[in-house]
């Protein structure tokens, strides 16, 4: 099974857990390094839906974090997008070559490999800015990833990195491409579309200007981020009174969108009540995408499959995504455990369900996480024997959605709701600038709750004894009893 085949298999868990944001991540191997990195995009795109065509100009700021100078810079673009011109920061033409090639690990995955030659090698630590002008069409990547239906059309235009709609600095392998996703950048977008269409993006809307039969929508990144998503359609735009919660919906789903907006509002209020206001929770955007296009989330927005607009049973996905706004900052070396983001969002999702749908909805969700963990442990025992703190090194972060959520359930039961709320509140304040590691979080949890939580952390975070409890049939009360005594002894 090739690497990207397992990426396709990942879409199955995405259906079970449609809130997994970085669909392509599970298979990503450690960063391949040694390429330059993109630190900023200034992207202008003119979409011509009648002709299923776009023209674009990407001004890209590059930096070289490596020890070796870089002269040849590879970019990947969608197979039907071609570079027309390349320029350096002074506007002088740069040499480039391009060819449609197969990804080295998946021959059906064809990309336009553009290799740019800088005038001077970019020295270690150096920064430069280049511009790529490109144009062409996009007709999805169904041959490799069933959900990538991205296309330029009058009904719907969807441009995502999954379809390489903008240049990704990577070599032609999935490993290199996924490593590129690891780089954070800022952006400015300027998207021009016919006046009949509204352009949606998860970034901060800056302004809209009217042209001749067209409108140009400008957006900027809210925080350094890892992807840009652009959608254009005859959207209905719904906003709450404060204007910070926004839903872009297709006209036929306006009613469902009204409900989603209400859900966004009440779950934001609920988390604020429980955990205090979050500096990160200042805005949230939901953008409806055509059914089957794969829901995805990034900073402060979600591309939500049309199905979720019609099915109220999928509201919990939004609880999860908005829950991410109450995440603390994690140290780079522990991020890939996914515990500091996914365990919390998954557990918050469950407690929001209890608040709005009752205890049974909570119990069902937690039971589902547990069953999923059991099944992963059966498939591969490493899922059970690897401590949460080691998930990053072992690429087992998907367990943070399941066992990770349970670790917080147990912690919540040990310290009570009030204690748990204060732990979240304090760690968000403590780790909003300075990032947290597991021991940092343990210190906060212990000092806030005034309890000795060492046995809990030893068995749930730094060790794997907890897997036996979870795979076995111990009840939550039985599990918690084990730690309550130890915790109270202090």
Closest contact distance (angstroms) between CB of 369 and Zn ion is: 13
* Contact status, residue 338 vs residue 401, Cβ threshold 8 Å: yes
Closest contact distance (angstroms) between CB of 321 and Zn ion is: 6
Closest contact distance (angstroms) between CB of 76 and Zn ion is: 26
Taking CB atoms, the residue at the shortest distance from Zn ion is 345
Q: Which is nearer to Zn ion, 106 or 342 (by Cβ)?
A: 342
Closest contact distance (angstroms) between CB of 19 and Zn ion is: 5
Q: Which is nearer to Zn ion, 122 or 322 (by Cβ)?
A: 322
Bridge partners of 225, per DSSP, are 185
Closest contact distance (angstroms) between CB of 462 and Zn ion is: 23
d(CA 313, CA 200): 25
Collect all residues with Cβ–Cβ distance below 8 Å to 209 and sequence separation of at least 6. 215, 216, 218
Closest contact distance (angstroms) between CB of 401 and Zn ion is: 7
Query: Which positions lie near Zn ion, rule CB under 5 A?
Result: 342, 345
Closest contact distance (angstroms) between CB of 13 and Zn ion is: 12
Q: Which is nearer to Zn ion, 314 or 455 (by Cβ)?
A: 314
Collect all residues with Cβ–Cβ distance below 8 Å to 210 and sequence separation of at least 6. 195, 216
d(CA 163, CA 165): 5
Q: Which is nearer to Zn ion, 58 or 322 (by Cβ)?
A: 322
Closest contact distance (angstroms) between CB of 342 and Zn ion is: 5
Q: Which is nearer to Zn ion, 249 or 345 (by Cβ)?
A: 345
Closest contact distance (angstroms) between CB of 338 and Zn ion is: 8
Closest contact distance (angstroms) between CB of 329 and Zn ion is: 15
Q: Which is nearer to Zn ion, 368 or 484 (by Cβ)?
A: 368
Q: Which is nearer to Zn ion, 342 or 446 (by Cβ)?
A: 342
Number of alpha carbons in the 13 Å side-chain half-sphere of residue 342: 26
Q: Which is nearer to Zn ion, 215 or 299 (by Cβ)?
A: 299
Bridge partners of 54, per DSSP, are 47, 136
d(CA 482, CA 471): 16
Show the tokens assigned to 251. Answer: 């006209």
Closest contact distance (angstroms) between CB of 420 and Zn ion is: 19
Q: Which is nearer to Zn ion, 7 or 18 (by Cβ)?
A: 18
Show the tokens assigned to 247. Answer: 């839903």
Q: Which is nearer to Zn ion, 18 or 136 (by Cβ)?
A: 18
Hey, CA dihedral for 445, 451, 457, 458, is it positive or negative?
A: positive
Closest contact distance (angstroms) between CB of 476 and Zn ion is: 23
Q: Which is nearer to Zn ion, 191 or 345 (by Cβ)?
A: 345
Q: Which is nearer to Zn ion, 342 or 398 (by Cβ)?
A: 342
d(CA 18, CA 16): 6
Closest contact distance (angstroms) between CB of 325 and Zn ion is: 11
d(CA 191, CA 429): 36
Q: Which is nearer to Zn ion, 190 or 341 (by Cβ)?
A: 341
């Amino acid at each position: 099974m090739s690497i990207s085949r397992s990426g396709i298999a990942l879409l199955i868990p995405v259906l079970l857990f449609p809130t997994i944001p970085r669909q392509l991540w599970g298979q990503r191997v450690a960063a391949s390094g040694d390429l330059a990195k993109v630190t900023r995009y200034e992207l202008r795109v003119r979409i011509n839906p009648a002709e299923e065509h776009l023209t674009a100009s990407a001004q890209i700021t590059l930096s070289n974090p490596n020890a070796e100078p870089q002269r040849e810079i590879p970019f990947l673009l969608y197979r039907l997008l071609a570079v027309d011109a390349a320029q350096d920061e002074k506007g002088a033409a740069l040499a480039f070559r391009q060819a449609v090639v197969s990804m080295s690990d998946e021959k059906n995955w064809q990309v336009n490999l553009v290799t740019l030659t800088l005038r001077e090698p970019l020295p270690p630590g150096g920064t430069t800015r280049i511009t790529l002008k490109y144009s062409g069409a996009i007709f999805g990547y169904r041959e490799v990833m069933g959900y990538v239906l991205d296309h330029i059309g009058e009904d719907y235009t969807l441009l995502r990195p999954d379809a390489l709609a903008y240049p990704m600095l990577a070599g032609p392998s999935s490993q290199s491409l996924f490593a590129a996703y690891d780089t954070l950048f800022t952006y400015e977008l300027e998207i021009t579309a016919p006046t009949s269409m509204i352009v949606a993006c998860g970034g901060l809307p800056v302004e809209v200007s009217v042209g001749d039969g067209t409108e140009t929508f400008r957006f900027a990144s809210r925080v350094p981020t890892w992807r840009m998503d652009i959608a254009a359609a005859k959207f209905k735009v719904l906003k709450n009174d404060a204007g910070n919660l926004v839903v872009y919906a297709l006209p036929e789903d306006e009613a469902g969108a009204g409900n989603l907006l209400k859900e966004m509002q009440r779950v934001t209020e609920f988390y604020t009540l429980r955990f205090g206001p979050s500096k990160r929770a200042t805005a949230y955007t939901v953008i409806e995408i055509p059914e089957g296009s794969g829901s995805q989330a990034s900073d402060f927005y979600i591309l939500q499959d049309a199905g979720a607009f019609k099915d109220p049973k999928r509201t919990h996905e939004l609880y999860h995504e908005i829950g991410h706004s109450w995440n603390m900052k994690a140290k780079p070396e522990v991020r890939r455990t996914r515990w500091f983001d996914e365990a919390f969002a998954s557990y918050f999702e469950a407690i929001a369900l209890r608040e709005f749908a009752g205890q049974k909805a909570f119990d069902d969700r937690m039971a589902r996480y547990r069953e999923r963990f059991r099944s992963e442990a059966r498939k591969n025992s490493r899922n059970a024997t690897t401590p949460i703190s080691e998930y990053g090194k072992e690429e087992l972060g998907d367990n943070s959605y399941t066992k990770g959520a349970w670790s917080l359930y147990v912690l919540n039961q040990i310290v009570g709701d009030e204690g748990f709320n204060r732990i979240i509140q304090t760690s968000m304040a403590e780790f909003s600038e300075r990032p947290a590691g597991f021991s940092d979080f343990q210190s906060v949890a212990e000092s806030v709750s005034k309890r000795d939580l060492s046995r809990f952390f030893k068995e749930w975070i730094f060790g794997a004894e907890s897997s036996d409890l979870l795979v076995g049939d111990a009840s939550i009360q039985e599990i918690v009893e084990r730690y309550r005594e130890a915790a109270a002894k202090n």
